[in-house]
Amino acid sequence: MHMEAIMTDPHTPFILGSWLVAMALLGLETILVIRRRRQAQRALQRARQRQGAM
């Protein structure tokens, strides 16, 4: 409804600059956190495999 007015607003760069940076940062944090947990789980798996092999 208001999207057309927002996109032609002279303040659009400020609105988009706020929202896109916010979403990008929070998205990046999500990816990094999930990756860190996966790495920790894999490290445990490797350690367990080494224990099993001994």
Partner 1 sequence: MEQDGRIRWLKFSSPRHFYHLVDRVIPWAWWVAGIALVVGLTIGFLIAPADYQQGNSYRIMFIHVPAAWMSMFIYLLIAGYAFIHLVWRVKMADVMAISLAPTGAIFAFLSLWTGALWGRPTWGAYWVWDARLTSSLLLLLLYLGYMALHAAIPDRQRAGRAASLVALVGVVNVPIIYFSVHWWNTLHQGASITLTAAPTMAGTMFAALVAMTVACWAYTIAVVLTRAQAETLERERGALWAAQLADPPHTRQEADKEHV
**Residues interacting with partner 1, by CB under 8 A?**
1-3, 5-6, 9-12, 14-15, 17-19, 21-22, 25-26, 29-30, 33-34, 36-37, 39-41, 43-45, 47-49, 51
CB of 53 to partner 1, least distance (A): 13
d(CA 22, CA 33): 17
CB of 52 to partner 1, least distance (A): 10
Q: How far is CA 53 from CA 12, 38, 45, 48, in A?
A: 60, 22, 12, 9
